[in-house]
């Protein structure tokens, strides 16, 4: 058996595109994904799953219809299922997401931003 740690900085160095999820590992029915964000995303909701945002670098905002949370480097936030949200970042921010394999990046709304996940 060959054991090797996953180096997050090495994985992040392999891509530059924003809002494009990159899968780096799986555990049971969940995936660990990296994403670089900047600017605004669209309003969307994940009706069937909670979503975990872990800030690795920078700072991001999560807007909700009734408030906002700011997630800074070294912090995480769990969005409960069924909460409509709009992620954004004023400057480039690196995030790790933990979500079910079946999760779609735009939640329950298909749009031009809906993409398939890519392994790196």
Which sign does the torsion angle of CA 43, 75, 60, 38 carry? negative
Q: Is the pLDDT of residue 85 over 90?
A: yes
Say if 77 falls within a structural domain: yes
Say if 58 falls within a structural domain: yes
Across the range 51-55, mean pLDDT stands at: 96
Q: Is the pLDDT of residue 9 over 60?
A: yes
What residues make up the domain containing 29?
8-107
Percent of the residues in the chain that have a pLDDT greater than 90, as a whole number: 77
SS3 17: coil
Phi and psi torsions of 12, nearest 5°:
-65, -30
Percent of the residues in the chain that have a pLDDT greater than 70, as a whole number: 88
**What's the total number of domains in the chain?**
1
- Could you tell me the pTM of the whole model? 0.87
List the CATH number of the domain containing 95: 2.60.120.10
């Amino acid at each position: 058996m060959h054991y090797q740690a996953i180096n997050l900085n090495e994985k992040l160095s392999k891509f530059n595109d924003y809002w494009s999820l990159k899968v780096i590992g799986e555990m049971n029915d969940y995936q660990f994904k990296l994403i670089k964000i900047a600017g605004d995303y669209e309003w969307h909701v994940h009706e069937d799953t909670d979503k975990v945002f872990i800030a690795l670098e920078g700072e991001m905002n999560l807007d909700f219809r009734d408030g906002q949370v700011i997630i800074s480097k070294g912090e995480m936030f769990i969005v409960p299922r069924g909460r409509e949200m709009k992620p954004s970042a004023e400057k480039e921010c690196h995030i790790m997401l933990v979500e079910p394999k079946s999760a779609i990046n735009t939640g329950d709304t298909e749009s031009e931003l809906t993409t398939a996940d890519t392994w790196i």
